[in-house]
């Protein structure tokens, strides 16, 4: 659910131990396995880890993660360029968003909260094809605005 224009926050309760969830996130090999990316190196704070996406439709798109913080079974944070999938664009000079995974033990297993923030700083002047709304018309647009400002 989007709460503001600058960040996205997701929560999920997993029927697995915090230790299991931590391993799935903090091990580059395991992370890559479920996320869908072939990462070349391990996750270490301060490291730049590169890989190629394996998700259908995005095969071989390059992905770069700048590892910020790793607190075992508590926080895993990294920076990246969200959906940096345009082949001829050099994203390396642009601001990154911050992705934080926070782990908490709960009765059912583990609560994982994922936050991605920093969208407000994404660069101006980028021109892409206008997003074509499937349902055009003022009514549909107003409904979007209403949801957004509510």
Partner 1 sequence: MSRNLAATLRKGAPVFAALGDETRLRLIEKLSSGEALSIAQLTEGEPVTRQAITKHLEVLADAGLVKSSRRGRERIWELQPTRLADAHAYLDRISAQWDDSLERLRAFVED
Site residues (vs partner 1, CB under 8 A)? 1-2, 4-6, 8, 10, 12, 14-16, 20-21, 24-25, 30, 33-36, 57-59, 61, 82-83, 85-86, 112, 114, 116, 119-124, 126, 128-133, 138, 141-142, 144-149
**In the complex with partner 1, which residue's Cβ is closer, 48 or 121?**
121
CB of 92 to partner 1, least distance (A): 15
Min dist CB 48 to partner 1, Å, is 21
Task: Output the smallest distance, CB 41 to partner 1, in A.
Answer: 20
Q: What are the CB-based long-range contacts (under 8 Å, 24+) for 61-69? A: 61/85, 63/37, 64/92, 65/39, 66/96, 67/43, 68/98, 69/45, 69/100
Least gap, CB of 60 to partner 1 (angstroms): 9
Buried b (16+ CB within 10 A) or exposed e, 57-73: eeeebebbbebbebeeb
């Amino acid at each position: 659910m989007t709460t503001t224009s600058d960040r996205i926050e997701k929560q999920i309760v997993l029927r697995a131990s915090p230790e299991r969830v931590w391993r799935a996130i903090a091990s580059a090999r395991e992370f890559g396995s479920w996320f869908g990316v072939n990462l070349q190196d391990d996750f270490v704070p301060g490291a730049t880890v590169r890989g190629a996406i394996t998700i259908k439709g995005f095969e071989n798109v390059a992905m770069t993660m700048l590892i910020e913080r790793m607190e075992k079974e508590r926080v895993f944070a990294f920076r990246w360029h969200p959906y940096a999938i345009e082949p001829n664009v050099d994203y390396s000079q642009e601001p990154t968003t911050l992705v934080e995974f926070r782990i908490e033990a709960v009765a059912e297993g583990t609560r994982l909260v994922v936050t991605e923030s920093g969208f407000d700083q994404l660069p101006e002047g980028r021109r892409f094809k206008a997003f074509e709304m499937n349902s055009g018309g003022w009514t549909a647009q107003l409904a979007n605005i209403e949801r957004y400002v509510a």
